[in-house]
Amino acid sequence: MKLIIRNLARRTTEEELKALFQEYGTVQSCDLVSDKTTGGSKGFAFVEMPKPGEAKVAMKNLNNMTVASNKIRVKRAENKSE
């Protein structure tokens, strides 16, 4: 299941985010979205967890959690139909 994490502090790293989600299960991938020009974080990321049950528990427990003084939002990522 692919999750989107919004409202991340610009200083939050991919490693920190991955560690946060690994507390709830296996993390297949963690992609912090960066600005192409500055290379800095855009404040959101995608985390993929192969087991939907673990992803749902992570979503429930981490949504509205304060990370690096920002209250993050975690929800299921919408599938883009291209």
Angstrom distance (rounded) from CA 50 to CA 44:
20
Q: What is the pTM of this model?
A: 0.92
Residue with tokens 């993390």: 27
Angstrom distance (rounded) from CA 20 to CA 8:
13
Mean pLDDT by 10 residues, the chain (82 residues): 97 95 97 93 97 97 96 91 51
φ/ψ of 53, rounded to 5, equals -60, -45
Query: For the chain, which residues make up each domain, given as ranges?
Result: 2-64
pLDDT at 82: 47
The CATH number corresponding to 2-64 among 3.40.50.1950, 3.10.450.240, 3.30.9.10, 3.30.70.330 equals: 3.30.70.330
